[in-house]
């Protein structure tokens, strides 16, 4: 088996590439380096610099490396940017996926794993979100992930490709400091950024219908997420797996933003009081996964807790912002 990992120099992609290589899979990465960092990839994992929008390049790479499975993480991922530039998000996330699937089908690749997101659910009224919870994304980003899932499943049926769509919840942490998320788009780096500037961490809304009034999320350690990819890749390779699977990747436990910020204060030793600001449009009060299907279908359960996520993310932040 040879796996092509698109977005392999990205935060999650590099964790996936490492975990799969360490487990004995042959992997290579493709990344346009718009957000990727080549040094995240260990020696021995080839990196092709190029775009998922470049069909000719994709066909060449699939053939030259005799690729037998694809893990597709390459995408734009900023919700706010997607609201401002919807056509770009559809072009890159859905157009890039269509180009890739065309090349995959043409090359006879039979296994495809797609990075989806809890953003497909929008703002569901559910204590635990199951894969049957209706999808109603609230941003063009979430729409591109939902449309991507439809496309993946349709291409799977049309071309005999086995597919898995993984709906990640809130990803945090780092398996090693050099693999850390260098972007400041998610809550943990956003709080680190404020503290590093000597400013109070911000909480957007403390009047939600949740126990402490702040939004509740399901945080998943990126190393656990990488292991989920490995489990999904193994499932795609097993003879008796069903054709397609769409599955939540979370811990099944809610943590409020206030609890998270308190924990960050403990880990960093910076316990300055938070600043409460108005709600941001589009933030769901609660988004917590049911992790049951992943346990049943992939034999995978998250092992790492939120403190480990914050501690490892903080080590990575200090490395990059020393």
Ligand X SMILES: NC(=O)c1ccc[n+]([C@@H]2O[C@H](COP(=O)([O-])OP(=O)(O)OC[C@H]3O[C@@H](n4cnc5c(N)ncnc54)[C@H](O)[C@@H]3O)[C@@H](O)[C@H]2O)c1
d(CA 111, CA 64): 17
> For residue 55, what are the CA distances in angstroms to 52, 88, 98, 195, 302?
7, 18, 9, 44, 36
Structural contact between residues 254 and 289, judged by C-beta atoms closer than 8 angstroms: no
164 is a site residue for ligand X (CB under 6 A) = no
Nearer to ligand X by C-beta: 94 or 203? 94
Pick between residue 34 and residue 271 the one whose CB is nearest to ligand X: 34
DSSP string, 242-297: -SEEEEEES-S--EEHHHHHHHHHHHHT--PPPEEEPPPTT--SEE-B--HHHHHH
In the complex with ligand X, the residue whose CB is nearer, 65 or 276, is 65
Write each residue from 253 to 282 as x if it is in contact with ligand X (CB under 6 A), else as -, in one continuous string. Answer: ------------------------------
Q: Which residue in 22, 45, 68 sits closest to 175, CA to CA?
A: 22
Strand partners for 249: 168
The residue nearest ligand X at its CB is 10
Q: How far is the CB of 142 from ligand X (least distance, A)?
A: 10
Answer for which of 17, 58, 74, 306 binds ligand X (CB under 6 A) is 74
Among residue numbers 28 through 67, which ones bind ligand X (CB under 6 A)?
31-36, 51-53
Report how far residue 265's alpha carbon sits from residue 47's, in angstroms, rounded to the nearest whole number.
38
The residues assigned a catalytic role are 141
Least CB distance to ligand X at residue 249 (A): 9
> Which H helix or E strand runs over 89?
helix 86-89
What is the per-residue binding string for ligand X in 134-153, x denoting contact by CB under 6 A? --------------------
Per DSSP, the chain holds a count of helices (H) and strands (E) of 11, 14
Of the candidates 3, 10, 82, 226, which one interacts with ligand X according to CB under 6 A?
A: 10
Site track for ligand X across 78-97, x = CB under 6 A:
--------------x---x-
Q: Among residues 74 and 255, whose Cβ is nearest to ligand X?
A: 74
Measure the CA–CA gap between 26 and 315, rounded to whole angstroms.
29
Element (H, E) at 81: helix 79-84
In the complex, least distance from residue 49 CB atom to ligand X, rounded to whole angstroms: 9
Output DSSP code: residue 94. Answer: I
Compare residues 120 and 213 and give the one whose CB is closer to ligand X. Answer: 120
Instruction: Give min distance, CB of 154 to ligand X, in A.
Output: 19
Length of the chain: 322
Nearest distance in Å: CB 209, ligand X: 24
> Which residue, 68 or 170, is less far from ligand X as judged by CB?
170
Q: Tokens representing 12?
A: 């999650």
The residue ranges that bind ligand X (CB under 6 A) are 6-7, 9-13, 31-36, 51-53, 73-75, 77, 92, 96, 115, 117, 168, 170-171, 186
């Amino acid at each position: 088996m040879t796996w092509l990992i698109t977005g392999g120099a990205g935060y999650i992609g590099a964790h996936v590439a490492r975990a799969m290589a360490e487990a004995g899979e042959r992997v290579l990465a493709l990344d346009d380096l718009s957000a990727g960092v080549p040094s995240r990839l260990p020696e021995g994992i080839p990196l092709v610099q190029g775009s998922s929008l470049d069909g000719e390049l994709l066909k060449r790479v699939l053939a030259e490396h005799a690729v037998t499975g694809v893990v597709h993480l390459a995408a734009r991922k900023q919700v706010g940017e997607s609201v401002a530039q919807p056509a770009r998000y559809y072009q890159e996330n859905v157009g890039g996926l269509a180009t890739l699937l065309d090349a995959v089908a043409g090359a006879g690749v039979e296994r495809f794993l797609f990075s989806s997101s809890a953003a497909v659910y929008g703002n569901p009224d559910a204590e635990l979100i199951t894969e049957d919870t209706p999808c109603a994304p609230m941003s063009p980003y979430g729409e591109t992930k939902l449309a991507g899932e439809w496309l993946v499943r349709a291409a799977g049926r049309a071309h005999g490709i086995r597919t898995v769509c993984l709906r990640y919840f809130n990803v945090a942490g780092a398996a090693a400091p050099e693999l850390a998320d260098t972007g400041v788009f998610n809550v943990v780096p956003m709080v680190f950024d404020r503290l590093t500037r000597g400013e109070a961490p911000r909480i957007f809304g403390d009047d939600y219908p949740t126990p402490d009034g702040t939004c509740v999320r399901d945080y998943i350690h990126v190393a656990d997420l990488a292991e989920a990819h490995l489990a999904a890749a193994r499932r795609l390779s097993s003879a008796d797996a069903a054709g397609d699977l769409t599955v939540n990747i979370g811990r099944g436990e809610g943590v409020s933003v206030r609890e998270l910020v308190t924990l960050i204060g403990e880990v960093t030793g910076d316990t300055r009081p938070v600043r409460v600001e108005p709600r941001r449009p589009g933030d769901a009060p609660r988004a917590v996964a049911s992790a049951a299907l992943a346990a049943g279908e992939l034999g995978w359960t998250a092992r790492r807790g939120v403190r480990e996520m914050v501690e490892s993310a903080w080590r990575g932040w200090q490395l990059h912002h020393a």
